[in-house]
Amino acid sequence: MINLTLKQLRYFEALAQQQHFGRAAAFCSISQPALSVQIKEMEVQLGRPLFERGAREVRLTAFGAEISTKVRSILSAVDDLGDFARAGQDGLAGTFRLGVIPTIAPYLLPGLIGDLTRRYPRMDLHLRETLTARLVQELLEGGLDAAIVALPVSEPSLTETPLFSEDFLLVRPAAQADAPVPSREELRDMRLLLLEEGHCFRDQALSFCQADAGPSRHGLDGSSLATLVQMVGAGIGVTMIPEMARSVETRSAAVDCARFAGPQPSRRIGMIWRRTTPLAGQLQELAEVVRLAAQDQRLAN
């Protein structure tokens, strides 16, 4: 008789997502050898390989892909049971998994974590920082309880709750501080440094400029706002950042921040969660905590 444990199923799911034993082990907070043993035990019990093991990554076998679909369904059902139990408690308690996109996490989380700890002392907060597409997928699969992203996401299975809006700022070399702020038409012809593909902030910046959304307009994409700002300080080009990033990213770079004359480029930030979650009431309350934390952050910026 096959006797798999929930822990093994979660290890399997982590490895299927991370495609790397080391990253999956870190995600599960166990050692890599321990993870390998559990995956091997699953394969022995099921009688077939679940993964193709390469030098740098692993991939699901065809059989593993079929198993992955069933494992997601099982884990989702288990998570739903936990949600129902938590929904009956006074406030959020136990493990809570919150996702945040990279252009929000470094600026909002330092203040937000303290607020959540004080408001929900019995919450065990687990944070996940990654791109919107990945957060949406993990929400739908039950791997996250909620996520803070730029709206709209437009996924019918998810509830979207707006939190706040913020403007984008132009970041240019400090030597250009006295120059007129370029219009979006002029910006389109400048060396505009962008985040790499997959970041929604990249798409929003290109939309404002009405520029081509090719892989790289100048071959100078960055993986973070910090990298882009430092490149601007080195005189390589100009970029845009969300207003909440201003104090963190510009304090150690020789750059000038300026507002556009109009129309102001901006984005809407919100929280998303599954429509079916029984935690909807608690999540609406948590969204208000996030909104107030963001307000405090903007006042301090």
Q: Quick one: pLDDT at residue 185?
A: 85
- Band the pLDDT of 249: cuts 50, 70, 90: very high
Q: Quick one: pLDDT at residue 252?
A: 87
- Band the pLDDT of 263: cuts 50, 70, 90: confident
| Average pLDDT of the residues in 258-262 | 88
Q: How many CA atoms lie within 13 A of 225 on its CB side?
A: 28
Give the right CATH number for 6-83 from 1.10.10.10, 3.30.70.260, 2.50.20.10, 3.30.428.10.
1.10.10.10
| Average pLDDT of the residues in 234-256 | 93
| Average pLDDT of the residues in 116-136 | 91
Q: Quick one: pLDDT at residue 272?
A: 97
- pLDDT tens digits for range 282-291: 899 999 999 9
Residue 149, pLDDT above cutoff 60: yes
| Average pLDDT of the residues in 274-295 | 90
- CATH class, 91-301 region: alpha beta
Domain boundaries, the chain: 6-83, 91-301
Q: Quick one: pLDDT at residue 242?
A: 94
